C-alpha cells in the first residue's frame, strides 16, 4: 500500500460556538480535499466575557479532544481563544504532550496581511471584550510594523444579536453605534478589521455603516490562504493529512436554536453530533 493511501490525519477547527464556521467554510474553499473536524463549545459560549484562565482551560480541552479524534493540526477559529490561550498551548503543552502536532490561531495571520489595506497607517478592530483587553492586535502589530497604529474596541452586543437572530433595526442601530464610537476615537482610521468571526455574517451591513472607501476586512479568506501556505512550508504536517474530502460537526450543546444558527453560519444543512462537556 502506498504511503499516500494511508494518510488519515484531519484538520481540526475549534471555536467557542458558531463563528468558527465562517472560518471553516473559507478554509474548505481553498482546500476542499481534506478531512475536517469542527468542534463548537456552545455549552460555554460566549468566551468573550470569561477570565483568561477559563478561556485557556476550555480551549485546551477542545484542542485535546480534537487531537484524540485524529486531528494533526488544530485552528483556533476564535479571536478570543487565539488571544488568551494559543501561546500557552504552543509553548507549554505541545512540546511536552504533543510534539508532532500543531495549533494555530487566526490573529497572527490577520496581522500579517492587514497592513497592505491601509494608506493612513491607522487600523480599527472590532472584537470581544476579552480580545480587546488582551491588546493582542496592538502588541503583534507593533512587533511587525511599529508604524501602523491599531485601535481595538468591543463590538458591543453585535455577537449576541447575531446569535439570537435579533431584529434588523436593532442590529443596524448597534452596528452604527459601535462603528461610530470606534471611528470617533481616531478619524484617521481607513481600515476596519472584523476581529470576531461572528461579524462575517454582517460584513455587508458594516460596510454600509462606515464612510465610503473604508476597507472592511474579514478574516476567513486570509486565514484559509495562510493555512494553505503553512502546510506547503511544513511538509511534516501536510504529509499526514488525508486527501479525502469530509467534514464532521460536533458541539458540547445544541438546542433547536443553536442547530438553526449553525446552519445559518455555515450556509447549508449539517449533521451535528453532541459530545459530553469538555471540562
Tell me whether residue 157 is in a domain: yes
In a shared domain, residues 190 and 232: no
Please say if the pLDDT value at position 256 is more than 80: yes
| 111 sits in which H/E element | helix 107-114
In a shared domain, residues 155 and 144: yes
Tell me whether residue 95 is in a domain: yes
- Between 269 and 193, name the one with better pLDDT: 193
Specify the residue for cell string 511538509: 235
The pLDDT > 90 percentage for the chain reads: 84
For residue 46, the model assigns a pLDDT of 86
Q: What residue ranges in the chain does DSSP mark as E strands?
A: 10-15, 35-40, 71-76, 102-104, 122-127, 149-154, 191-194, 215-217, 246-251, 272-274
For residue 142, the model assigns a pLDDT of 96
CA distance 17 to 14: 8
In a shared domain, residues 93 and 144: no
For residue 3, the model assigns a pLDDT of 46
Q: What residue ranges in 61-214 does DSSP mark as E strands?
A: 71-76, 102-104, 122-127, 149-154, 191-194
Tell me whether residue 65 is in a domain: yes
- Annotated catalytic residue 177: no
In a shared domain, residues 123 and 210: yes
Please say if the pLDDT value at position 5 is more than 60: no
Tell me whether residue 82 is in a domain: yes
Range of the domain at 151: 108-218
CA distance 45 to 58: 10
Tell me whether residue 262 is in a domain: yes
The pLDDT of 36-58, averaged and rounded, is: 93
The pLDDT of 157-182, averaged and rounded, is: 94
In a shared domain, residues 232 and 101: yes
Return the minimum-mean-pLDDT range out of 120-124, 212-216, 223-227, 252-256: 252-256
In a shared domain, residues 19 and 101: yes
For residue 258, the model assigns a pLDDT of 83
Phi then psi for residue 149, to 5 deg, are: -100, 125
Question: Which is catalytic among the residues 18, 66, 74, 78?
Answer: 78
Check residue 267 and give left, alpha or beta (phi > 0: left; psi -120 to 50: alpha). left
pLDDT tens digits along 73-120: 999 999 999 999 999 999 999 999 999 999 999 999 999 999 999 999
SS3 label, residue 77: coil
Q: Please provide the average confidence, as pLDDT, over all residues in the chain.
A: 94
Asked which of 173, 197, 218 is the last residue of a domain, the reply is 218
**CATH number of the domain where residue 101 is located:** 3.40.50.1860
Task: Indicate the number of domains in the chain.
Answer: 2
In a shared domain, residues 214 and 112: yes
pLDDT tens digits along 178-201: 999 999 999 999 999 999 999 999
pLDDT band at residue 2 under the 50/70/90 scheme: very low
Tell me whether residue 279 is in a domain: no
In a shared domain, residues 211 and 75: no
In a shared domain, residues 116 and 55: no
The pLDDT of 168-182, averaged and rounded, is: 97
Tell me the pTM.
Answer: 0.93
- Annotated catalytic residue 196: yes
In a shared domain, residues 83 and 123: no
In a shared domain, residues 158 and 204: yes
In a shared domain, residues 156 and 144: yes
CA distance 57 to 251: 17
For residue 4, the model assigns a pLDDT of 47
The pLDDT of 215-227, averaged and rounded, is: 97
Please say if the pLDDT value at position 1 is more than 80: no
CB atoms inside a 10 Å sphere around CB 269: 9
Q: What residue ranges in 33-92 does DSSP mark as E strands?
A: 35-40, 71-76
The pLDDT of 213-224, averaged and rounded, is: 97
Tell me whether residue 211 is in a domain: yes
The pLDDT of 264-273, averaged and rounded, is: 89
Closest CA to 137 of 203, 83, 214: 83
Question: Which is catalytic among the residues 27, 196, 216, 223?
Answer: 196
Q: Which residues pair with 39 in a beta bridge?
A: 14, 250
Asked which of 201, 218, 235 is the last residue of a domain, the reply is 218
Please say if the pLDDT value at position 55 is more than 60: yes
Amino acid at each position: 500500500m502506498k504511503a499516500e493511501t494511508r494518510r488519515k490525519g484531519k484538520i481540526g477547527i475549534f471555536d467557542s460556538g458558531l463563528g468558527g464556521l465562517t472560518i471553516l467554510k473559507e478554509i474548505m474553499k481553498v482546500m476542499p480535499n481534506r478531512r475536517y473536524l469542527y468542534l463548537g463549545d456552545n455549552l460555554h459560549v460566549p468566551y468573550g466575557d470569561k477570565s483568561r484562565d477559563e478561556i485557556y482551560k476550555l480551549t485546551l480541552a477542545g484542542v485535546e479532544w480534537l487531537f484524540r479524534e485524529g486531528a494533526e493540526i488544530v485552528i483556533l477559529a476564535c479571536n478570543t481563544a487565539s488571544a488568551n490561550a494559543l501561546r500557552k498551548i504552543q509553548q507549554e503543552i505541545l512540546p511536552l504532550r504533543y510534539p508532532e502536532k500543531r495549533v494555530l490561531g487566526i490573529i497572527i495571520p490577520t496581522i500579517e496581511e492587514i497592513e497592505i489595506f491601509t494608506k493612513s497607517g491607522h487600523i480599527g478592530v472590532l472584537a470581544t471584550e476579552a480580545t480587546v483587553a488582551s491588546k493582542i492586535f496592538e502588541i503583534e502589530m507593533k512587533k511587525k510594523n511599529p508604524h501602523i497604529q491599531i485601535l481595538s474596541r468591543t463590538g458591543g452586543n453585535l455577537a449576541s444579536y447575531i446569535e439570537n437572530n435579533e431584529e434588523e433595526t436593532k442590529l443596524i442601530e448597534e452596528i452604527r453605534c459601535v462603528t461610530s464610537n470606534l471611528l470617533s476615537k481616531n478619524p484617521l482610521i481607513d481600515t476596519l478589521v472584523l476581529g470576531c468571526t461572528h461579524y462575517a455574517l454582517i460584513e455587508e451591513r458594516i460596510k454600509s455603516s462606515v464612510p465610503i472607501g473604508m476597507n472592511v476586512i474579514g478574516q476567513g479568506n486570509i486565514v484559509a490562504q495562510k493555512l494553505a501556505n503553512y502546510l506547503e512550508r511544513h511538509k511534516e504536517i501536510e504529509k499526514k493529512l488525508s486527501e479525502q474530502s469530509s467534514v464532521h460537526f460536533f458541539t458540547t450543546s445544541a438546542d433547536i436554536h443553536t442547530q438553526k444558527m449553525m446552519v445559518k453560519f455555515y450556509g447549508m444543512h449539517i449533521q451535528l453530533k453532541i459530545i459530553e462537556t469538555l471540562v
